[in-house]
C-alpha cells in the first residue's frame, strides 16, 4: 500500500525519530540527482540482525551461524513489496561493517571486529522521498504494517521546521599515527609492491576522541551534510549508543528488480579550488595523472572480476572508465562496472561475491587485506564497509562507508586513507588523506578545519 504525503525535506521528516534506536535515514544531496535523487526513512523494525566479535544475534538473541546466510533467510521470509513509484518499499536497511569480510575471505583479523560487523533492521513500513519531483510517500509492505505507515505519515506531517544548528562540539581528534609513522607505513607498502607481493593497498588511519555527553548524531550529520553534500549520505542509529553519519560519494553495488548490476568504484582524488580556472585545472590534472589512472584501472578490473562471479556470462562491461566526478570538496576518478545477475541468485549472493569493496581493499584483494590488517593500528569497524537497503523484491542499493564518522557509546572516530600504488609519493598520500578527512574534522572541530 502506497500513500502519497505532502513533501517535506527528508531531514525534517527524520528529526522526530532521530533519537530512537534503529531509526535510519538514507539521504541524498549535492548535484548528483541521477544517483542521489531518492531518500528513505525507516523506523521501528520488525526484526534486527546484528553481528560482532561475540557472534550473530537476531532481535538481541544469539543464534550463531553465517551473517550472510541469516540475512538471506530473513529477506526470503519478507513479503515482496507492492510495486510503486520508488525503488525501495520495505526490507533490510543498515550497515555491513568492513570486518564482515572475515566471514568470506581467510584474512586475519588481529584487531577484532570493531563496534559492528552487521547491524541491519527489517522494516515493513518506510517513507520515501523524490527530491527532484518533490514528492513523498509512505508504504506498508504488508497489510499489518498499515497502521505503522499511517503513524509515520502523521509524524512527518507534524514535524516542525528544523532548529538552527548548534555550534560544532569542538572535539580535538587525535590521529593514531604521527605523520612520520604514517609515511613509514606507506613506504613499507611501497616495498611490498616493489617485491611483487601486491599491486595496490588502500591504507587508512583513524582519528579519535572521547564522546562527550549529549553529542547528538543527527546534529553532527546535519553539519557534515552541509559541509559535504553527497549522493549516498546516511544517518543511522543502532542500539547501544552506536551511530553512523556518512557523506559518501561512492556507490558500492546496486541491483534493480530486473537483475541489472552497477558498481561505481572511486580511485583518484584532487581537492576542489575556489577559483574556477584553478578548479578546472585540478580536474584536468587528475584526469591526466598516470598514477591515478593506474590506481583506478586496477580496482575497476577487480570489480569486474568480483561481479563476474555472479553475473551472466558476457554481461559484464565497463561503460565508463576513469570519468571525472566533481563533488562539494573534491574531484574523483570514477569508473562504472555493469552486469546482469545470473538467474536463481539474489542480492546477498552479489554482496558475498564483492564484499568488502575492492576500492577500499586493494589488489589482489586477499593479500591487500592481510597487509591492511598488519599495518593499520586498529579495526575499521563500519568504515570501509557498506550501508544501504535491500528490498523484499530483490533490488538493492549500497554505498561504501567513506567520508563518515562513527559514534560508539564512548568514542568518536573519523577515518580516511587512499590507494597506494607503485607511483605513490608518501607525502602526497598523507595530503590526500587529510583532504578526504577535512569535512569530518570540520563537522567535529569547527569550520576552520575545512
250 is an active site residue: yes
Query: Exposed/middle/buried for 413, CB within 10 Å: 0-12, 13-18, 19+?
Result: buried
User: Cα 112 from chain centroid?
Assistant: 20
Catalytic residue among 250, 376, 429, 432: 250
> Residue 433: phi, psi to the nearest 5?
-60, -45
Catalytic residue among 148, 267, 365, 436: 267
For residue 48, which of 119, 126, 109 has the smallest C-alpha distance? 119
Tell me the DSSP string of 76-101.
Answer: HTSPPPPP-SSS--SEEEEEE-GGGG
> Residue 173: phi, psi to the nearest 5?
-80, 140
Distances in Å between the Cα of 256 and the Cα atoms of 197, 304, 334 are: 37, 18, 21
User: Cα 229 from chain centroid?
Assistant: 14
Widest pairwise Cα distance in the chain: 62
User: How do beta strands 61-62 and 200-210 pair?
Assistant: unpaired
For residue 298, which of 203, 351, 365 has the smallest C-alpha distance? 365
Q: All 3 cell numbers of residue 23?
A: 531509526
Calculated CA dihedral for residues 298, 301, 306, 307, nearest 10 degrees: 140
267 is an active site residue: yes
The residues assigned a catalytic role are 250, 267
Amino acid at each position: 500500500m502506497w500513500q502519497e504525503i505532502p513533501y517535506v525535506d527528508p531531514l525534517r521528516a527524520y528529526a522526530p525519530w532521530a533519537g530512537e534506536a534503529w531509526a535510519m535515514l538514507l539521504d541524498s544531496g549535492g548535484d548528483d540527482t541521477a544517483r542521489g535523487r531518492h531518500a528513505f526513512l525507516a523506523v521501528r523494525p520488525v526484526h534486527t540482525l546484528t553481528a560482532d566479535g561475540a557472534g550473530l544475534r537476531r532481535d538481541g538473541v544469539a543464534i550463531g551461524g553465517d551473517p550472510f546466510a541469516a540475512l538471506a533467510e530473513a529477506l526470503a521470509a519478507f513479503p515482496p513489496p507492492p510495486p510503486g513509484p520508488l525503488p525501495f518499499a520495505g526490507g533490510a536497511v543498515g550497515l555491513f561493517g568492513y570486518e564482515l569480510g572475515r566471514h568470506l575471505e581467510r584474512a586475519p583479523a588481529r584487531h577484532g571486529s570493531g563496534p559492528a560487523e552487521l547491524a541491519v533492521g527489517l522494516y515493513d513500513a518506510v517513507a520515501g522521498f523524490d527530491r527532484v519531483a518533490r514528492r513523498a510517500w509512505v508504504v506498508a509492505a504488508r497489510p499489518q504494517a498499515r497502521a505503522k505507515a499511517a503513524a509515520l505519515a502523521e509524524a512527518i506531517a507534524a514535524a516542525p521546521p528544523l532548529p538552527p544548528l548548534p555550534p560544532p562540539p569542538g572535539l580535538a581528534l587525535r590521529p593514531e599515527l604521527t605523520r612520520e609513522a604514517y609515511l613509514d607505513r606507506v613506504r613499507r607498502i611501497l616495498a611490498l609492491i616493489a617485491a611483487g607481493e601486491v599491486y595496490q593497498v588502500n591504507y587508512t588511519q583513524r582519528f579519535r576522541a572521547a564522546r562527550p555527553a549529549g553529542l547528538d548524531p543527527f546534529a553532527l550529520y546535519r553539519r557534515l551534510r552541509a559541509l559535504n553534500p553527497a549522493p549516498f549520505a546516511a544517518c543511522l542509529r543502532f542500539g547501544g549508543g552506536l551511530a553512523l553519519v556518512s557523506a559518501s560519494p561512492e556507490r558500492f553495488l546496486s541491483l534493480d528488480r530486473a537483475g541489472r548490476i552497477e558498481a561505481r568504484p572511486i580511485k583518484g582524488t584532487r581537492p576542489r579550488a575556489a577559483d574556477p580556472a584553478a578548479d578546472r585545472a585540478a580536474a584536468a590534472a587528475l584526469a591526466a595523472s598516470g598514477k591515478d589512472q593506474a590506481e583506478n584501472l586496477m580496482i575497476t578490473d577487480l570489480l569486474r572480476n568480483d561481479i563476474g562471479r555472479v553475473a551472466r556470462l558476457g554481461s559484464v562491461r565497463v561503460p565508463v572508465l576513469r570519468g571525472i566526478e566533481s563533488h562539494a570538496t573534491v574531484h574523483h576518478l570514477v569508473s562504472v562496472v555493469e552486469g546482469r545477475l545470473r538467474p536463481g541468485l539474489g542480492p546477498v549472493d552479489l554482496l558475498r561475491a564483492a564484499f568488502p569493496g575492492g576500492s577500499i581493499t586493494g589488489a589482489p584483494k586477499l593479500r591487500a587485506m592481510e597487509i591492511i590488517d598488519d599495518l593499520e593500528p586498529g579495526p575499521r569497524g563500519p568504515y570501509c564497509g557498506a550501508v544501504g537497503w535491500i528490498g523484499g523484491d530483490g533490488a538493492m542499493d549500497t554505498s561504501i562507508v567513506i567520508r563518515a564518522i562513527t559514534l560508539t557509546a564512548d568514542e568518536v572516530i573519523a577515518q580516511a586513507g587512499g590507494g597506494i600504488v607503485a607511483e605513490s609519493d608518501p607525502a602526497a598520500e598523507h595530503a590526500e588523506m587529510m583532504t578526504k578527512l577535512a569535512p569530518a574534522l570540520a563537522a567535529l572541530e569547527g569550520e576552520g578545519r575545512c
